[in-house]
Chains A and B, each alone.
Chain A
């Protein structure tokens, strides 16, 4: 069989996976986000109150970034026969211009996540160079990382647990 190299024959579904989400606000105060089979409620984009308990948009975002990186490592590990034996990650995020968000007069600059740093601690029975190749190879399979690294300063450091 002759393989097609013609772009016109490439199926859309083969190159793009589309998702859609619905968000509602019946009380005009909070937002309920619906996934395929679940939903979750968000009250605030961000909270500056250390005692505020509900998960905010920014926390979901950070959690999404960190979990995407850790999960991509775990997925790739399984494909290699579960090479990772222990895994933990820490994410630090710098939000620039937070005072614009709280409406301080005199601040007009757009709030933006300027920098994310992730440190991944992992134990795997591999040589250092082998582990680096594995980790960075796995990282390149994280769509969230690949998207964000183009729009901000995004550092990921891997530290081998001894």
Chain B
């Protein structure tokens, strides 16, 4: 078995995020498994990097997972995800005094979405509307907030701008990830007395580690094994886990990406 350093890719839009990867790399070194972190500007570049073997493993958004899955004809290997990546949902938010109480009330209205490539703030909710009889570009008007295109919705800016547009009366509804909706109510970013969630999508999953089809499965399992040794009760690990928003690494699964696959088919996002 090759003991070359595993090359792990991550998309970075804020230099502070490199601190997380520094902690992960140090932890793996302590565990006797050296890794090399390779940082990318956007997910397309990272998937390119995985495909041409610049990296062995990629920390992928759900859309980057789908991109990899399609480019490798389903042969890419899936690794772990954060506990918080599982069973997410998107919330449809309206003003309480709007009189809109269900998805049907959005017919003919303007809906604020996040970035063009955001799974949670555009692709999945558009698919959800489609499943409930509201067709894209027919039954409602899309108003997109393209912040951080290429980051697949990692940057919350687009979702927050959509909510701000809702508050300002520029759109009739906005969509946002459940975690953001909850956090913004708690920290006062939004006035929960003025807004209401009228609908949520079915549950879906978020980020996942993905390895190239030709990368040694044994070594990928070795990576997973060490990763799962991270312990939230360990002060050193806790810092990284808090920054990355998890309490535990859990086994990956691809069943949680079904809605995204449907959305891709519906919108022909990847044109395949």
Contacts and interface: CB of A to CB of B under 8 A. Distances in A.
Interface of A: 48-51, 98-99, 101-107
Interface of B: 12-13, 15-16, 18-19, 22, 38-42, 45, 49, 239
B15 A105 contact: no
Contact of A102 (B15, B42, B45, B49): B15
A104 B41 contact: yes
A143 to B, nearest CB: 31
A99 B40 contact: no
A44 B59 CA distance: 27
10 contacts: A49-B16, A50-B16, A51-B239, A98-B15, A102-B18, A103-B39, A104-B40, A105-B39, A105-B45, A107-B41
Nearest to A100: B15
A103 B9 CA distance: 12
B213 to A, nearest CB: 22
A99 B39 CA distance: 9
B12 A104 contact: yes
A99 B41 CA distance: 9
A145 B119 CA distance: 48
A48 B15 contact: yes
Given A105-B45, A106-B45, A49 B40 contact: no
Contacts of B45: 105-106
B16 A99 contact: no
